[in-house]
Structure 1
Amino acid sequence: MKPSIQSRTSRTILTKGSGFLNGYSHTLNPYAGCAFGCSYCYVRRMPIALFREEDWGEWVDIKENGVALLKKEIPKAKKKGKVSIFMSSSTDPYQPIEYKTELTRSLLEAMLEETPDFLFLQTRSPLVTRDIDLLKKLGNQVLVSITVETDLESVRKIFAPQAPPIGGRLKALKELREAGIPVQAAIAPLLPCSEDFPEKLHRAVNRVTLDDFFMGDGSGGKRTEQLGIRKLFEEHNLGDWYDRKTYLKIKNRLLEKFSEGNIFISQEGFYPPN
């Protein structure tokens, strides 16, 4: 089922960073809503989703005046201090509608004119590789983070059936790294995976961030519980994975392939560099 798409005029495109993302001066969401509609997405429990008639994943709003706003708001924000942007906190900037609108690409082009001090670009879509030409121009002022929450397609199809296949994400990570763009794999949230997961990641990236429902949903796991994710684990005989200590076992596996300094845990892996 295709989501309903609407274009809307926004008052602003930059929002003050807060909560989990308080290390950033601003967050930037090109869209409202997300067609990937992942079952565990914490945004499902936020007002933007709760007060909408359609279910999460069934609607997307395009912020049609986003580029014009950004060109005004970055210079204004710079007058108050350094500008660090997390893109995006409550949507995916490279969800399917981006193929048509190229809104995210246009925002990146605007950032080459009015460059923030740092841009963290979070997605789970291989479409990000389309913009390698622009990302290279941002140099060390950007970090691209691609979600790879498991290496098992069977698990992805349970929890995020509308999200891009894992193989394409791993390929995108490798392509970005080979292009010289700072990049990381975000195991966020951690889902059941194979023992080969660390090796697959190591072939693609040098840096990983590991997060789970309990650390990363902004409520100590309460939002995830309200979404019924525990039941989803149990229905597929994966209940042993739904545990606060599981991430430590995976971290130990990652240490076989990655140095301690290149493994980040939860919030620290999404922060701008010092």
Structure 2
Amino acid sequence: MKINEIQSKSILTPSSGFITKFTHTLNPYAGCAFGCSYCYVRQMPIALYREEEWGTWVDIKQNAADLLSKEIKKAKKKGPVTIFMSSATDPYQPIEYKARITRSLLEAMLIEKPDFLFVQTRSPLCTRDIDLFQQFGQSIRVSMTIETDLEYIRKAFTPSAPPIPARLKALKQITEAGVPTQVAIAPLLPCSKQIAKTLRRVTSRAVIDNFFMGDGSRGRRTEKMGIRNIYGRLNLLPWYHPNAYKVVLKLLQQEFEDVELLISQQGFMPNQ
């Protein structure tokens, strides 16, 4: 893994695309060590025009916390500030153990608070920051990506990402600490019929999408990355279909009172 320390010119980015329910995105790092095979960032300029392969490099934004307080204060002059962390990296990827950039950003936001903070991760490391999450009260939601409940599927699509049991345990711990949480089945991967019951034991809210709704190009980005081939090798091609999610959505609706399609752009914010 190639690690670089950089100085950013800015840290808050006005949101666009599928994240329009938020005013800004916040990425503590550029690059992501998890290197998920289907990650839509692989088809974005930050990855396409880099010599190193996606998943083999991470840039640490050393001055992120110093920039954040000033930028939130400036953004608030135009209206409410709602932040999605993170849209193009995982804020709790392995380097965060040492770099602690994400934790420093949380500390900065407790001084200059946004109106709402949404934390998206697939890493159990986020439990380290429960003490900070709790201080945001109801102005935060921690969302754990759990695309499948089957470890062999996780290993086929995201071999460098944390194991599913560890994510379930982490989400349960955060939920029991009184922090608003949700599970993000995003994107949906092949799973068992027990997935909804399993997830309901660790959180009370769920969102779901698939490659055709969630990659920002109706599945074209995913197709370019050859994800269909993984389904083929696993003899699971029927799962690679725009309507496959409907079966799992029905299972979720049987277990959860609060479940949304992520593409609806209403799967992030708390109910108003």
Q: Normalized against structure 1, the TM-score is what?
A: 0.97
Paired residue secondary structure (2:193): coil
Identity %: 59
Query: Which one of the candidate residues 249, 259, 265 is aligned to 2:261?
Result: 265
2: distance between equivalents of 1:87 and 1:235?
A: 34
Partner deviation per Cα, 1:131-162 (whole Å, 9 max, x = no partner):
00000000110000000000000000000000
Q: Which residue of 1 aligns with 2:136?
A: 138
2: distance between equivalents of 1:256 and 1:121?
A: 26
1: distance between equivalents of 2:88 and 2:267?
A: 14
Q: Residue 209 of structure 1 contacts residue 269 of structure 1 at CA under 8 Å; is this kept in 2?
A: no
Q: Which residue of 2 aligns with 1:251?
A: 249
Q: Per-residue deviation at 1:196? A: 1.1
Q: Which residue of 2 aligns with 1:112?
A: 110
2: distance between equivalents of 1:21 and 1:269?
A: 10
Paired residue secondary structure (1:256): helix
Q: Residue 119 of structure 1 contacts residue 142 of structure 1 at CA under 8 Å; is this kept in 2?
A: yes
Q: Which residue of 1 aligns with 2:72?
A: 74
Equivalent residues in 2 for 1:1-274, closer than 5 Å:
3-259=1-257, 262-267=258-263, 268-273=265-270, 274=272
Paired residue secondary structure (2:137): helix
Q: Per-residue deviation at 1:255? A: 2.1
Q: Per-residue deviation at 1:256? A: 2.3
1: distance between equivalents of 2:252 and 2:25?
A: 30
Alpha-carbon RMSD across the aligned residues, in angstroms, is 0.8
Partner deviation per Cα, 1:3-54 (whole Å, 9 max, x = no partner):
1000001100000011111121100000000000000000000000000001
Q: Which 5+ residue runs of structure 1 have no aligned equivalent?
A: none
1: distance between equivalents of 2:198 and 2:5?
A: 39
2: distance between equivalents of 1:25 and 1:252?
A: 31
Q: Which amino acid aligns with 2:198?
A: K
Paired residue secondary structure (1:255): helix
2: distance between equivalents of 1:58 and 1:18?
A: 27
1: distance between equivalents of 2:94 and 2:201?
A: 27
1: distance between equivalents of 2:133 and 2:171?
A: 13
1: distance between equivalents of 2:18 and 2:201?
A: 29
Q: Which amino acid aligns with 2:123?
A: S
Q: Which amino acid aligns with 2:38?
A: Y
Q: Per-residue deviation at 1:269? A: 4.5
Q: Normalized against structure 2, the TM-score is what?
A: 0.98
Q: Which 5+ residue runs of structure 2 have no aligned equivalent?
A: none
Q: Residue 188 of structure 1 contacts residue 210 of structure 1 at CA under 8 Å; is this kept in 2?
A: yes
Partner deviation per Cα, 1:53-110 (whole Å, 9 max, x = no partner):
0100000000001010001101011011100000000000000000001110010000
